[in-house]
Amino acid sequence: MKILFVEKPEMELRYERKSLLVYQQGARILSVPVAHIERVVVAPHVVITAGVLGVLVEYDVALLVINSRFPKRTASLSGAHKGDAYRRFKQYQLLEKTDLRTLWSIQLVYLKISGQLRLLRKALKIRPDLRFSLLKAIQQLEAMRGSLTGYTQRSLNQLRGIEGAASASYFRAYICLFPQSLMFTGRTRRPPKDPVNGCLSLIYTLVHQLAVDAIKVAGLDPMLGVYHELCFGRDSLACDFVEPLRPVVDGWVWCLFRNRELRVENFNQKSDGCFLNDSGKKVFYEAFYKKVPSFRRLFRRYASTAALRCTQV
């Protein structure tokens, strides 16, 4: 699929005859024939002249306005693209193919456990004082990852059992990486009860939305997952995409505290949970937006691969 991304600050989208023109700070930087494009993706700050909409409709080019900060303002401003309908139809068919779903789910779990192993091995080099706890978890994770070989004859529920056991073993070691002053003793979500959980909950939410955006860009339905079952109101395919990235996100949160970029004083402890205060938000979001391009590239690659696989079902 040929996609034109217009996302940088001070950009403007115009048209001339049969071409789309991209301007930045008043200077033209790109010209693309409309006939060569299937979809245009713009950020909410991009200026679009009214005539551009007519040209896109004429050539049946989809337009998607992605707003990661306010997801409810993400909008498709053109009619349904024929390619999208075909991809989604094949995506619906995939839900009935248990063997394929299981195979793809195994790959997701394998990637997630491999990421957990990488983080704990890195931690072992930095924290040799935690050798016993980290090595124990590493050995358990290696065994669980090894058990995925030849797993296709088992059910998705059995696979989820292995993934859950691996996550429990991993988190017991991950908890040890943080000082006791942070009071991080386990994963708590609604509400997060300590600074580490406060950061994890926030970053997982932000990363999840990036996955949703990438899936929409690829013309797929974010609610139809492979590993995660259908659930009312849940973007299950986005949940699938996030799973392999969780250890990367966990490592990023650990670095924020290990480097003392975030400390206890950057949080407010309230009856309804522990949340970043203004000083903490400044540090957190500045660090997060530096990671956004790499997260976005990864999710777009996942989405492109998923779209290709769906057409092969």
CATH of the domain at 54: 3.100.10.20
Q: What is the mean pLDDT of residues 49-56?
A: 84
Please give the radius of gyration of the chain, using alpha carbons only, rounded to the nearest integer. Answer: 22
Q: Which pLDDT value is given to residue 117?
A: 97
Residue 284 domain-assigned?
yes
The string of DSSP codes covering 112-153 is: HHHHHHHHHHHHHHH-GGGHHHHHHHHHHHHHHHHTTTTGGG
Residue 85 domain-assigned?
no
Residue 151 and residue 28 in one domain: no
Residue 188 structural domain: 92-311
Q: pLDDT category, 275, cuts 50, 70, 90?
A: confident
Q: What is the pTM of this model?
A: 0.78
Residue 20 and residue 137 in one domain: no
Q: pLDDT category, 140, cuts 50, 70, 90?
A: very high
Least confident of 77-91, 160-174, 207-221, 286-300: 77-91
Q: Which pLDDT value is given to residue 63?
A: 81
Q: pLDDT category, 112, cuts 50, 70, 90?
A: very high
Residue 103 domain-assigned?
yes
| Separation between Cα atoms, residue 89 and residue 77, nearest integer Å | 21
Task: State the DSSP code for 36.
Answer: G
Residue 114 and residue 61 in one domain: no
Number of structural domains, the chain? 2
Residue 42 and residue 105 in one domain: no
Residue that finishes a domain, picked among 58, 79, 100:
79
